[in-house]
Structure 1
Amino acid sequence: QARSGHIPFTRHAKRILEQSLRETSLLGHERIGTEQILLALIDEDRESTGARLLGEVLPVDFDQLRQHILRQVTEHRLTAELGLGPTPITNLRLTEAEHALCVAAAAKAGQRIDVWMRDRILDAARADGASTE
C-alpha cells in the first residue's frame, strides 16, 4: 500500500535509477537526465518488458544504440560548453572506428577531443590555403 504522496518503485525500477546515477557519474554530469535513464535501461535488462516492446517496434542493436546515445550526449555537451551551434563543421559524422581513432589521438596528445579535432580541422584548412579574408 502506497503512502499518500509516495510513489513506490519496483526493485527493477530502483536498479534502473541506481544505474542511471552511475551513468551520470561516468559521463561527468551533475543531474540524471533521460539519456542516463535510457542508458541504464539498455544496460540493466535487455530482456525486460520495455526492451522486448522496443525490439518489436524497431530492430534494435542495443550496443549500437548505446554508442549512438553516448556520441550524441558527448556532442551535445561539447556544443553547449563551447557555445557552438550545430554547423557543418561542428556536426561531423564519424564511424565508430573513426571516432575511436580520434579519441585515442586526442588522449595521446593530452587534449580534449573537441580541442584536438578543432586544431586538426584548422590545420587542414590552413594547409589548403583557405582564408577568411
Structure 2
Amino acid sequence: MDKQGYGMTEAGPVLSMSLGFAKEPTPSKSGSCGTVVRNAELKVVHLETRLSLGYNQPGEICIRGQQIMKEYLNDPEATSATIDEEGWLHTGDIGYVDEADEIFIVDRLKEVIKFKGFQASPLTIFVFN
C-alpha cells in the first residue's frame, strides 16, 4: 500500500499523510497527499484575497497548529510574510482539498524547493535525481 504524505520544515515535517497519524487513516486516492494530521488545521485560500475556498478549488495551502515554527530567526519581515495574524502559515504550495478532505498539491508559488538540504529548482531535481 502506498503511503503518501506532505510536509515542510516550517510546519512540522508532516502535515498530511494517508496512514498512521491521519485523522481518517484510510488508503488515499491517486495523487493525494492524504488527510491533514490530527494536531493541525489546514485550509486553502484564494491567492489574491486570501479568503477560504471550498472543496476542489485550487489556492494556497495554509496550515495552523502547535507544530509550526514561531518565527524565522532575526527576520520579522519574512515571518510576517509567512505567518498571518491568525497564526496560519502560508506554505507557498498551490493545491486543493476534495470532499473526502484529501489534499492534492498541484503547483508552487515560487519555483524553488529544498531537496536534500539544498535549494533547487524542480527541473534540476528531476534531471539529476
TM-score w.r.t. length of structure 1: 0.24
Structure having the larger proportion of residues in helix = 1
Structure having the larger proportion of residues in strand = 2
Q: Which has the larger radius of gyration?
A: 1
